[in-house]
Each structure stands twice: as C-alpha cells, then as structure tokens.
Amino acid sequence: MIRIENILRMALIVLPLAYTTAAQSHSLWVNQPTVESGKTVVVEMGYGDEFPTAEPIVADRLHIFAPMKMIGAAGELTLLPGNENYQFVSKTPITKGSYLVLATYNPTFWSKNTKGWKQQSRNEMSDASYCEVASMFGKTIIDVDRANNMALLSEPQGQKLEIIPLANPSLIKPGQPFPIQVLYDGKPAKNIAVSATFAGFGDPHEHHGHTHSHAQAFLNKTDGQGKVNIYPLKAGYWIASVEYKSPFEDKTQCDEYVTQSTLTFTITE
C-alpha cells in the first residue's frame, strides 16, 4: 500500500523537475463551476500562470481561443458569452446528469528572440532562438445530483492531447487512487509525465495566495496504455496537467509542437 507520507515526500523531491510551458509559461484550464439542477451554469476558462484564478484574456490573444463547449448525455449544450471574456453561460437550465466542459487554445506560432516572445514563426522572426507551435486543451467534470454517468465522463472528446477520467473523482477520497488515461491523437500516450496540484499548494506569500503553475503535489508517468493513478493528497480543488512535444516538420520555420492538456476536479473528505 502506498502511504500518503511517501507520496508527499516524492512530490517534494520532484518539484524542481516539474516542466515549464513555453508561450510565456501560460496554462489553460476550465474552472469547475458550482451547479444546481434547474438553473443555468456559468463556466470559466482559466488562462495564465496562477491556478485557479481566471483573469480577462488580453485582446491580442482572444482570437486564439475557440468558444467553450459543454457536453451532456444528449449532446452539446448551447453556451452564450458571459459577462467576462473568459466566461460562458448555458442557454438553458441544466438538469440532473453528468457533463464535460471543454476549452481550446488553437495551434499558434510563438517565437522568442532577445526582445521576448511574439506570435510569429521563424519566417517572421529571423533571429529567433526558439520557435514552437503551442496548443492547449482544458476539461472539467460536472456532476448534477450525483448522476455519475461514467459512460460520458470516460468518453474521449477529440482533444489532440486529452486526459480521460477512468473513475468519477467526486467518489475518490484523499489518498485513494484516481485512475486516468492520457491520449494523443486518440491513441494512448505512453511514458508521458502527469503532474497534479491543488489550489493553495505552494507558498501563499510568494504567489499572492494562489498556486503557481510550477508548484506540483504529484508527478508520475503513464504506463504502456497511457494510464496512471493520481493520488490526491488531500481534499480540495485539483488540476492534473500533461504536456507532449514533437518535432516540427520544417526546422527553418519552427522547432517543435508543444501541446498541453489539463483536467480539473474536486476531491472531498
């Protein structure tokens, strides 16, 4: 049996190894909303370097994001723009059931030179020291009235890099394994690093009371089937993250593809 103390010790050891994302170290996630049957729901797309704080997306990056999607047993629900540019609201009240909410950051060239990052390939930035095509995906789970529809929750949604929950995290208690599978292009992503953390983990003074994206409470790798068990250390609001890199076809234009994906979930006592 794996002891919580051992998991925590492992997490502290691997913290300095946690990967950083390019494109100015930003991440994408979907905040898990508070829901009530018979009412509309507001969903938020988080984009930045602090979790779980969602902030307005700057104007010159808005074009990168696809509209958020909400999937239920009967198909896709209509979402309307909310009060903030990172918010969407369901057109109709939601009823008992399980739902997935998805966010997408479309493939975007990012290059870096001595002046910093720009949305350009090497064709536009001839002195670039590095170039990547960044893509990001976010997902969260909504369970209204304990529907627990695992057929839906465990169904791949076509994200290029996707985290699939193989159990309902609302039924997982602290210290118990939460099994997931990671897919890349619909196939198991083998031997890929999976990190996870919870809101409040890290130094609250250094990071203004929020968990910085580099502070991780769990890190392990997937097996040959792209599967791994996440061990949530404590109750709270969690985010699991994965990253996959592959070489770009034409090195004169860019260096590599960098694809990220996240899954947010809540663990209760």
> How do residues 4-17 score in pLDDT, each as one tens digit?
444 443 444 344 33
Higher-confidence position of 21 and 36: 36
Residue 164: the pLDDT is 99
Structure token digits, residue 81: 């723009």
Is pLDDT of 48 > 80? yes
Residue 203: the pLDDT is 56
Q: In the chain, what is the greatest distance between 2 CA atoms, to the nearest angstrom? A: 56
Higher-confidence position of 21 and 75: 75
Percent with pLDDT over 70 in the chain:
86
| Band of pLDDT at residue 34, cut at 50, 70 and 90 | confident
Q: Kindly report the average pLDDT of the chain as a whole number.
A: 89
- Residue among 232, 236, 230, 233 at smallest CA distance from 266: 236
- pTM for the model: 0.89
Is pLDDT of 160 > 90? yes
> How do residues 201-260 score in pLDDT, each as one tens digit?
875 544 444 444 467 899 999 999 999 999 999 999 999 999 999 999 999 999 999 999
In angstroms, the CA 198 to CA 45 distance is 17
> How do residues 93-130 score in pLDDT, each as one tens digit?
999 999 999 999 999 999 999 999 999 999 999 999 99
Whether omega for the bond prior to residue 52 falls within 30 degrees of 0, making it cis, is: yes
Please state the rounded mean pLDDT for residues 168-176.
96
Q: Is the distance from CB of 23 to CB of 30 less than 8 angstroms? A: no
The three-state DSSP-derived secondary structure of the chain is: CCCHHHHHHHHHHHHHHCCCCHHHHCEEEEECCCCCCCCCCEEEEEEECEECCCCCCCHHHHHHEEEEEEEECCEEECEEECCCCCEEEECCCCCCEEEEEEEEEEEEEEEEECCEEECCCCCCCCCCCEEEEEEEEEEEEEEECCCCCHHHHCCCCCCCEEEEECCCHHHCCCCCCEEEEEEECCEECCCCEEEEEECCCCCCCCCCCCEECCCCCEEEECCCCCEEEECCCCCEEEEEEEEEEEECCCCCCCCEEEEEEEEEEEECC
| Band of pLDDT at residue 50, cut at 50, 70 and 90 | confident
In angstroms, the CA 201 to CA 46 distance is 17
Please state the rounded mean pLDDT for residues 150-173.
97
| Band of pLDDT at residue 26, cut at 50, 70 and 90 | confident
Do the strands 27-31 and 79-81 form a parallel or antiparallel pair, or are they unpaired? Answer: unpaired
Domain positions in the chain: 4-264
In angstroms, the CA 236 to CA 239 distance is 10
| Band of pLDDT at residue 175, cut at 50, 70 and 90 | very high
